[in-house]
Amino acid sequence: MRPLLAIAVIIGALGSVRAYVSFVNSATGREHHQFQETAAEGRFHLDLTLTFDARGDVFNPESILLSLHGDTPLLKIEEEVLAGTVLVVDPVEGIVVGENEFYLKVATGEAESGSESAFLLPGEETSDESLPAGGRSRAVRVRIFQDDQLVAEKTLWSEPGQAVEGIIALHVADFSVRPDQDGK
């Protein structure tokens, strides 16, 4: 008898929550509209320039991952990429009018090596030449072009021994409606 009573109380509570949500939606007149994104005009491409050798590690085999809007992978490389290499993604599909976000993660392949610079004694050398590879900051330059014109450029830096990771924001204006076309 007690299990039936518990089930009835749960059903009553969930039913009242559903009734409340329905009431709020009808009282405020909120309607669910499907958000439509407009594809940006022009041809977009981007290039990445690395200051270090990118390679996957034992935990993540991808050396480079670049995605648009968090779900569209534009570039996914598992092989080692040497420093100074310019990687070009041409064309970049999926850019819309408004805000666009690119997520970039470039691995250093150093997950299994510890940071030896943490064990330096006072007075020991700490210049870049004396630091192990894991103790240096790294950078990736990202340039985005629209119709071969540079529209965004950002350099992402890492903490020493960490992967370069970050978000590049790109705002694309809507040029399809101009003030002189609508009579203003």
Q: What does the pLDDT look like over 17-54, one tens digit per residue? A: 999 988 888 777 666 566 667 878 888 899 999 888 88
Residues 6+ away with beta carbon under 8 Å from 120: 126
pLDDT at 166 over 70: yes
Residue of 72, 66, 67, 44 whose CA lies nearest to 54: 66
Give the range among 16-20, 33-37, 83-87, 90-94 with minimum mean pLDDT: 33-37
Structural domain boundaries in the chain: 1-30, 44-113+125-172
* Sheet arrangement for strand 139-146: 86-89, 44-50, 139-146, 149-157
Q: How far apart are CA 92 and CA 106, in angstroms?
A: 19
- How do strand 72-77 and strand 44-50 relate by DSSP bridges? unpaired
Q: How far apart are CA 69 and CA 38, in angstroms?
A: 14
Q: How confident is the model at residue 132 (pLDDT cuts 50, 70, 90)?
A: low
| Stretch 67-86: mean pLDDT | 86
